[in-house]
Amino acid sequence: MFNRRKFLGSSLLASTGWFLRTPGTTSFTYVNKPIVISTWDFGKAANAAAWELLSRQGKALDAVEAGVKIPEADPNNHSVGYGGLPDRDGHVTLDACIMDENSNCGSVMSLENIIHPISVARLVMEKTPHIVLAGDGALQFALANGFKKENLLTPESEKMWKEWLRQSKYEPVINVENKKYSAADKSFAPGGPQNHDTIGMLALDAAGNLSGACTTSGLAFKMHGRVGDSPIIGAGLFVDNEIGAATSTGVGEEVIRIVGSHLVVENMRLGLSPRDACRKAVERIVTRDPQKAKGLQVGFLAMKKDGSYGAFCIQKGFTYAVRSGSEEKIYESESWFS
């Protein structure tokens, strides 16, 4: 069985992190940096792009943007960017947000026809006095800033949507284990890409600064205009450079209700480890409605200012990817239900 404590022990020894003196004391704190973590198995490829920058003293903000652009451009990923499953009316509508070490943040909601919503979110942060642009306004802003309008509905996603339309059952399916959409039995069966799995990415750079990014096409076949947790600062993503950062995946409505990522960071502020901070947030969801929680998936992923990290989810099956100077690995998150 995987022994996380043992693994962490050995990874710290081999790591390239730094020891920093705690101000006003003679003690030193180990800081595991730079490091990047992200949700799901496909986080591995995204981390690799982020690592390109982080390993060369790049900024965490640039790293998370570059990282999440990988699944955004991947037509085989049906829950992020290009190739994302559409809403029930056939529109691919994208949600994304980004946050840096100075609490600067930007977000786009329900953005259509732009392959990299994360870069639009960053521009909202950097070029406007606002934090969120939605729908057509977000599209106009993107086009005015040189983004190209593209059709994001791939033939494969369109086929899945048309199959779904036959029954039009509005029943968001949770990502319990790997689900593959089967046209034959019109459902998500084990063994393939999940029907919804956002990428949330958190990075700590060599300068010791944290940033995060989160991007998704949201729940498959959602109502047109539905926005999940992913582009909502505090829900799908939160960064506090003094404490740590968190991100989430799963049924966004449940994350919004508890302002999940903010809650995880506040739990770390109170002294909990990243894993325990995530668990506490999951506990909040589960205890609110234990019966409902049996049919829900939500996963949280967190990193502290010292580069330690952890995750927790409701149902088995949530994985996350880690890249640092000492490891490149995918972990399975612990879950509330086994």
Residues that bind ligand SD4 (CB under 6 A): 175, 196-198, 216, 218-219, 228-230, 249-252
CA atoms within 13 A on the CB side of 279: 12
CB of 34 to ligand SD4, least distance (A): 25
| Burial of 295 from C-beta contacts in 10 A (0-12 / 13-18 / 19+) | middle
Closer by beta carbon to ligand SD4, 17 or else 218? 218
HEC states along 79-125? Answer: CCCCCCCCCCCCCCEEEEEEECCCCCEEEEEEEECCCCHHHHHHHHH
* Angle made by CA atoms 313, 152, 176, in degrees to the nearest 5: 20
Is residue 287 within 8 A of residue 272, CB to CB? The reply is no
Our CA dihedral for 268, 273, 277, 279, rounded to 10 degrees, sits at: 180
User: Catalytic pick from 16, 93, 154, 198?
Assistant: 198
**Which residue has tokens 């509330």?**
336
Identify whether 154 is a catalytic site residue. no
Gyration radius from the chain CA atoms:
19
Relative to beta strand 298-304, strand 309-313 is antiparallel
The set of catalytic residues is 198
